[in-house]
């Protein structure tokens, strides 16, 4: 059975928005960084889509590891060291969300690499709603990964042609939606990322956008406050009242963006 349009969009969001966030784990988690510091390999992940594009489509991306460097490239790889293949796009999405689905595997001869790759893929589960880490380092990692993913996913959602998102982006001149998490005792933020929207186009990035003041600023006062909002322990209104977050800028557009974020989080978690 061919994948539904929703299945395809979800898979592309994983490839384009969630998988690149693995770079945060490789840079910020000392144990994971050590595992991959000498790895040079290509790992392909994909699923068959019977009936897709009039035939049997193979929806895939590949992860490129190069001794500390990491890249996600869309499409199949020429000579992957390991291949993880799913019979359907829906089953692939199920595994990415932490459900019961396993791929066919080529490359069992490289068991050490395979185990490392699975541990890296499983590290994405920290972004799932049920993950509530108590360790401060893991809590920071969850917030950073979640904000990086959702800011990137917003831009990808527009580029994939979602009608509502595309229309919303089209009617904006040049605006910055900035996310900032404060670092106690420092003028520099603990975590920062942004979405830029300009006349239908969109781009996400890390850090504070310096060339333009934000049209909407989502300002979290600390990691714990950001977690409360991301885990939906408090809504934005309650979060403002409790001192977790302040939203500076257009209330209407802030709510629009929050609605899109909720849709994307529902698709990816």
Whether the CB-CB separation of 103 and 85 falls below 8 Å is answered with yes
Q: Return the percentage of the chain with pLDDT > 90, whole number.
A: 86
When pLDDT is averaged across residues 213-242 and rounded to a whole number, the result is 91
**Digit-coded pLDDT (tens) for 119-174:** 999 999 999 999 999 999 999 999 999 999 999 999 999 999 999 999 999 999 99
pLDDT of residue 201: 97
d(CA 16, CA 176): 21
What are the structural domains, with CATH classification, of the chain? 5-127 (3.30.1050.10), 136-268 (3.30.1050.10)
Which residues on neighbouring strands pair with residue 57, listed in sequence order?
49
pLDDT of residue 59: 94
Whether the CB-CB separation of 194 and 205 falls below 8 Å is answered with yes
Helix (H) or strand (E) holding 134, with range, is none
259 has pLDDT over 60:
yes
DSSP assignment string, 50-96 = ETGGGSEEEEEEEEEEETTEEEEEES--SS-SEEEEESSHHHHHHHH
Whether the CB-CB separation of 148 and 24 falls below 8 Å is answered with yes
pLDDT of residue 75: 95
When pLDDT is averaged across residues 101-105 and rounded to a whole number, the result is 94
What pairing do the DSSP bridges indicate for beta strands 175-181 and 216-220? parallel
When pLDDT is averaged across residues 65-86 and rounded to a whole number, the result is 96
d(CA 24, CA 180): 17
pLDDT of residue 53: 58
Q: Return the percentage of the chain with pLDDT > 70, whole number.
A: 97
Burial class (CB in 10 A: 0-12, 13-18, 19+), 191: buried
Helix (H) or strand (E) holding 102, with range, is none
Q: Which residues of 1-27 are buried (b: 16+ CB within 10 A; e: fewer)?
A: eebeeebbbbbbbbbbbbbbbbebbbe
The model's confidence at residue 2, banded by pLDDT at 50, 70 and 90, is confident
| 192 CB-side CA count, 13 A | 16
How many other CB atoms are found less than 10 A from the CB of residue 92?
27
The model's confidence at residue 54, banded by pLDDT at 50, 70 and 90, is low
When pLDDT is averaged across residues 40-68 and rounded to a whole number, the result is 87
Average pLDDT across the chain, whole number? 94
Q: Which residues of 228-262 are buried (b: 16+ CB within 10 A; e: fewer)?
A: bbbeeebebeebeeeebbebebeeebbebbeebbe
């Amino acid at each position: 059975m061919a994948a539904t349009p929703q299945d395809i969009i979800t898979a592309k969001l994983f490839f384009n928005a969630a998988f690149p966030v693995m770079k945060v784990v490789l840079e910020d988690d000392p144990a994971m960084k050590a595992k991959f510091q000498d790895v040079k390999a290509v790992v392909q992940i994909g699923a068959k889509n019977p009936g897709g594009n009039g035939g049997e489509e193979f929806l895939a991306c590949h992860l490129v590891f190069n001794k500390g460097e990491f890249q996600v490239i869309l499409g199949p790889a020429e000579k992957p060291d390991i291949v993880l293949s799913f019979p359907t796009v829906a089953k692939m999405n199920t595994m990415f969300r932490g459900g019961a689905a396993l791929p066919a595997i080529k490359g069992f001869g490289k068991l050490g690499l395979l185990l490392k790759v699975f541990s890296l893929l499983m590290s994405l589960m920290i972004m799932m709603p049920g993950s509530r880490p108590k360790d401060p380092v893991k809590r920071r990692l969850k917030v950073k990964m979640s904000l990086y993913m959702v800011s990137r996913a917003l831009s990808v959602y527009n580029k994939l042609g979602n009608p509502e998102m595309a229309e919303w982006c089209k009617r904006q001149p040049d605006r910055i939606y900035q996310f900032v998490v404060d670092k106690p005792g420092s003028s520099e933020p603990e975590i920062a990322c942004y979405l830029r929207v300009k006349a239908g186009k969109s781009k996400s990035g890390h850090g504070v956008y310096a060339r333009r003041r934000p049209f909407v600023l989502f300002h979290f006062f600390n990691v714990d406050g950001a977690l409360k909002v991301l885990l939906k322990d408090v809504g934005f209104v309650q979060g403002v009242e409790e001192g977790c977050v302040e939203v500076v800028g257009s209330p209407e557009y802030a709510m629009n963006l929050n609605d899109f974020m909720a849709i994307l989080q529902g698709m990816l978690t």
